[in-house]
Amino acid sequence: MTRVVGILLTVLALPLAGVGLVLILGGLASLAITLWVGSTYPPRGPFVEIAGGRLATIQDGPLDGPPIVLLHGASANASDPMEGVGRLLAARGFRVIAFDRPGFGWSDRIAGAEAAAPAVQARLIAEALRRMGIGPAIVFGHSWAGALALALALDHPDRVSALALAAPVAMPMPDQMPALPWYWRLAVKPPVAWLLSRTAGPPLAQHFLPEAARRVFQPQPAMPDYAERARAALVLRPGTLLANVQDLLGLPAALAAQSRRYAEIRVPTLIVSGEADPIVRSAAQAVPLARAIPDARLVLLPGIGHMLQYVAADRVAEEVAALSRSLKGTVTAAPADPR
């Protein structure tokens, strides 16, 4: 009997040992990727100290130019909008400030898992803008950050002179968020997600990064130098992978509550979306959002996909410049926060 038990324990230990080996190898690969990413893509702009940590920025353009704040979408960082449309806006005379959202790029994940809510990230961005003495400013939000830009306008209107929303995610999306299979529900549990993000997550994400770039650019071909320009590998680090999952899973509930308030928005609002966007479909997001915000201007770009800040950068920059001209005479910079 003892021998039988011993054999059974040995058999059971084999898969457990295999799992342990995978976790160890994944952990080593994760550490190597983290070190490589950090050395290859160091911070490119000044940090802003706020309560609980600091937010990273990339900035361009004249200091006395009209300010515009760029906020990036999921799986990205401040380089994504800056290298797409931001440099064009800087060349037009804007003071461009692109933020790494909390937990992305080089920004701290202030407030932990609670930072998955656009309202929490809006509070942190608003505090940073106050510390910088910036606002009211045009706020540009792409994709996930469309919800963030809207939260800024709703909860911190003193920081926002106008909204420029590119392929925004803003409306409730019950039909776009099917029930997760059991293994995903397990994978996103806090202890499991933490473990996966520090073992198998980074090498798997690195493997699929080129395919993700191809899909997000459809129907246009992916730009050959996009990953380098946008410093896309910054998303591969464990903390950012975990923040990304939290943000994506937390968004539907946040939108269900936030979308009821869009009629309160009074700042000029521009919504630009690609009619061929397979990621954030304009018919489900941009079109109803334009109806929900008083006097919002909707621009639909035929044949353009999700990455319009790259594939239609000139058109987007011109629309933002026109929005800025409509604000002529408004205050563009607030006094610096004395705290």
**Structure confidence at residue 193 (pLDDT):** 75
Side-chain half-sphere of 11: how many Cα atoms within 13 Å? 6
Q: Which structure tokens are listed for 84? A: 């797409």
Q: How high is the pLDDT of residue 202? A: 86
Contact 107, 127 (CB under 8 A): no
| Mean pLDDT to the nearest integer, 85-95 | 98
Phi-psi group of 108: left, alpha or beta (phi > 0 → left; psi -120 to 50 → alpha; rest → beta): beta
The mean pLDDT of 213-225, rounded to a whole number, is: 95
* pLDDT value, residue 18: 57
> Rounded to the nearest 5°, which phi and psi values hold at 297?
-105, 125
- With a pLDDT cut of 90, the percent of the chain lying above it is 73
Rounded to whole angstroms, the Cα distance separating 11 from 5 reads: 10
pTM comes to 0.88
Burial (0-12, 13-18, 19+ Cβ within 10 Å), 105: buried
In the predicted model, is pLDDT for residue 5 greater than 70? no
- Average pLDDT across the chain, whole number: 88
Separation between Cα atoms, residue 292 and residue 172, nearest integer Å: 12
Mean pLDDT of all residues in 130-134: 98
Mean pLDDT of 142-147: 98
Q: Is the dihedral of CA 146, 154, 329, 46 positive or negative?
A: negative
Whether residue 71 contacts residue 139, with contact meaning beta carbons closer than 8 Å, is answered with yes
Cα 87 to Cα 92: distance, rounded to the nearest angstrom: 9
Q: 109-126: per-residue pLDDT in tens? A: 999 889 999 999 999 999
Q: Which helix (H) or strand (E) holds 274?
A: strand 269-274
| Structure confidence at residue 152 (pLDDT) | 98
Which domains are assigned to the chain? 40-325 (3.40.50.1820)
Instruction: Quickly state the pLDDT bin for 185 (edges 50, 70, 90).
Output: low
| pLDDT at residue 198, rounded to an integer | 77
- In the predicted model, what is the mean pLDDT of residues 195-202? 80
According to the model, what pLDDT value does residue 173 have? 81
Query: Which of 240-277 are b and which e, b meaning 16 or more Cβ less than 10 Å from the residue's Cβ?
Result: bbbbbbbbbbbbeebbeebbeebeebebbbbbbbbebb
The pLDDT of residue 11 is 38
- CA 14 vs CA 6, 8, 17, 24, 27: distances in Å: 13, 10, 5, 15, 20
For residue 338, is pLDDT > 50? no
Q: Maximum CA pair distance of the chain?
A: 89
pLDDT at 15 (0 to 100): 54
Going by pLDDT thresholds of 50, 70 and 90, the confidence category of residue 174 is low
pLDDT given at position 23: 61
Contact call for residues 67 and 332 (beta carbons, < 8 A):
yes
Q: Which residues contact 102 (CB under 8 A, 6 or more apart)?
A: 55, 108, 109, 110, 111, 115, 120, 121, 124, 243
pLDDT digits (tens, 9 = 90+) for 8-48: 334 334 454 555 666 677 678 888 999 999 999 999 999 99
pLDDT of residue 183 exceeding 60, the answer is no
Q: Taking residues 154-173, report their average pLDDT.
A: 97
pLDDT at 205 over 90: no
Q: Are 55 and 97 in contact (CB under 8 A)?
A: no
